[in-house]
Amino acid sequence: MKVLVIWRLLTVGGVNAGWRNRAIYFKKFGIETEFLYTTDHGGLHIMEDVAPVYLTKDENKIINIIKESNYDAIIVVDTGAAYKWIQKANFKGPVIVEARTPELIKLQPHLKKFRTVQPVSIIVPSNYQKRLVSILTDDIPIKVIYNGVDTAFFRRLTPDEIDFEMNPILPNGKKVVCWIGRVDKRKNWPMLIEVAKLIKSERSDIEIWLIGGAQSVQREEFAAKWEEEGLTDIIKWFPVIPYQQMPHVYAKVLQSGGCSLATTKSESFGNTFIESMACGVPVVASNIMPISEIVINQETGMLYRGHDVLDAVKNIYSIIDDQTLHQNMSQKATKHVEKRFAIHKVADVYLQILLEIGNVTNGGENI
Same domain, 132 and 187: no
Q: Report if residue 76 sits inside a domain.
A: yes
Same domain, 54 and 134: yes
Q: Report if residue 159 sits inside a domain.
A: no
**pLDDT digits 0-9 by tens, 143-193:** 999 999 999 999 999 999 999 999 999 999 999 999 999 999 999 999 999
Same domain, 194 and 306: yes
Same domain, 17 and 139: yes
Provide mean pLDDT across the span 34-40.
94
Which residues are registered as beta bridge partners of 4?
A: 34, 74
Within its chain, how far is the Cα of 143 from the centroid?
A: 18
Same domain, 197 and 55: no
- Over the range 290-317, which residues count as b (16 or more CB within 10 Å of their CB) and which as e? bbebbbbeeebbbbbeebebebbbebbb
Same domain, 310 and 193: yes
Same domain, 193 and 321: yes
Residue 113 banded pLDDT, cuts 50, 70, 90: confident
Distance (Å, whole) CA 275 – CA 341: 10
Same domain, 23 and 119: yes
Establish whether the linkage from the previous residue to 141 is cis, with ω within 30° of 0. no
**pLDDT digits 0-9 by tens, 115-141:** 889 999 999 999 999 999 999 988 899
CATH of the domain at 306: 3.40.50.2000
Torsion of CA 172, 178, 181, 184, to 10 degrees: -90
Same domain, 143 and 186: no
Q: Report if residue 226 sits inside a domain.
A: yes
Same domain, 238 and 335: yes
Same domain, 50 and 119: yes
Q: Which of the 8 DSSP states describes residue 297? A: B
**In this predicted structure, what is the pLDDT of residue 359?**
67
Q: Which of the 8 DSSP states describes residue 168? A: S
Q: Which domain holds residue 35?
A: 2-148+343-361
pLDDT at 363 over 80: no
Q: Where does residue 2 rank: exposed (0-12), middle (13-18), buried (19+ CB within 10 A)?
A: middle
pLDDT at 364 over 70: no
Q: Report if residue 157 sits inside a domain.
A: no
Number of domains, the chain: 2
**In this predicted structure, what is the pLDDT of residue 365?**
42
Distance (Å, whole) CA 124 – CA 133: 8
Q: Report if residue 12 sits inside a domain.
A: yes
pLDDT at 366 over 50: no
- Please say whether the beta carbons of 41 and 148 come within 8 A: no
Q: Report if residue 170 sits inside a domain.
A: no
| pTM for the structure as a whole | 0.91
Q: Report if residue 161 sits inside a domain.
A: no
Distance (Å, whole) CA 253 – CA 309: 21
Average pLDDT of every residue of the chain: 94
